[in-house]
Amino acid sequence: MLGLSPRGVGLLVAAFLFTTAAYAHPAPPRVISLAPHATELAYAAGLGEQLVAASAYSDYPDEAKTLERVSNYRGIKLERIVALKPDLILAWRGGNPPKPLETLAQLGIEIRYLDVEKLDDISGFIRELGRYGRHPEIAQKNAAAFDQKLRALRTRYQDATSVPYFYLLSGAPLMTASDHAWPSQLFRLCGGANIFADSPAAYPQVNMEQVITRKPHTVFYTGGELPASWQSMKDLLPSLAQHYAFQLNPDWLTRATPRALQAATQICEALDTVRRAT
């Protein structure tokens, strides 16, 4: 677990080297994923049979639900990961603590960071991960399919009329996502104009008065229903926003995986509905 002393780390390294010196790494490598989006990317790349463990909330595809959990928001189960003898660890700088990963790298385990910053990175990482698998053609096929869908959406909506929107991330406190946050890429792809695009924070806390004065034409949310605080003030919004609120699948929207284009399709169709109403 986290918090090992230098001596403890040294013993861990020695134990790892002792137990692995007698045999070569299997081919293809044993893989552990430390983030839900990394797990999805691994499966898309054809590495499903090689995954031996994953992070909490790695729930797609269904096969991922059976994997042992070796990390969560509290940290990484360092000793257990070592015991599983992985050759490759898929990590995420935005969600994994650096020190235990440095320790794992000292053991000679390859650490591959899947820090997706833009939509085009998704297919790139799938192709790259495919090199570690038995069937790289699976990765090539899935990456090509993603690229084709992305091109089609870009072509269709490149000249679409801009629609001001508000993304309701949470109701208490009232939070949204600026253009620095991952989900905003999907809205921009469809011609959405974020009313809080210029916020310096990726996920700013805002108030209802700010939302009202920026006049969104529609609202998107991912919870089961709009919060009561929103319902009590929505009559002050422009009439379009009062009538057009769309629920999105949170996993599609927030995970940088091929399913992000399913969220984009939801968003594009919703914005088209609003355009037809204006």
Q: Render pLDDT for 53-89 as a digit per residue (tens, 0 to 9).
A: 999 999 999 999 999 999 998 999 999 999 999 999 9
| Strand ranges in 24-126 using DSSP code E only, listed in sequence order | 31-33, 51-55, 68-72, 75-76, 88-91, 110-113
Q: What is the pTM of this model?
A: 0.87
What is the percent of the chain with per-residue pLDDT over 90, rounded to a whole number? 79
- Report the chain's mean pLDDT, rounded to a whole number: 90
Q: Note the pLDDT of residue 8.
A: 53
Inter-CA distances, 2 with 6, 32, 83, 102, 193, Å? 12, 17, 15, 12, 42
Token match 């490149």: residue?
158
Residue pair 146/73 in contact (Cβ under 8 Å)? The answer is no
Residue pair 48/33 in contact (Cβ under 8 Å)? The answer is no
Q: Note the pLDDT of residue 10.
A: 52
Beta bridge partners of 31: 51, 88
In a 13 Å sphere around the CA of 236, the CA atoms on its Cβ side amount to 12
| Strand ranges in the chain using DSSP code E only, listed in sequence order | 31-33, 51-55, 68-72, 75-76, 88-91, 110-113, 163-168, 170-171, 174-175, 192-194, 218-221, 245-247
Backbone dihedral angles phi then psi of residue 123, each to the nearest 5 degrees:
-65, -35
User: Given pLDDT bands bounded at 50, 70 and 90, which one contains residue 223?
Assistant: confident
pLDDT(13) > 90: no
pLDDT(106) > 60: yes
Residue pair 244/218 in contact (Cβ under 8 Å)? The answer is yes
Q: What is the mean pLDDT of residues 243-255?
A: 95
pLDDT(19) > 50: no
Q: What is the mean pLDDT of residues 13-29?
A: 52
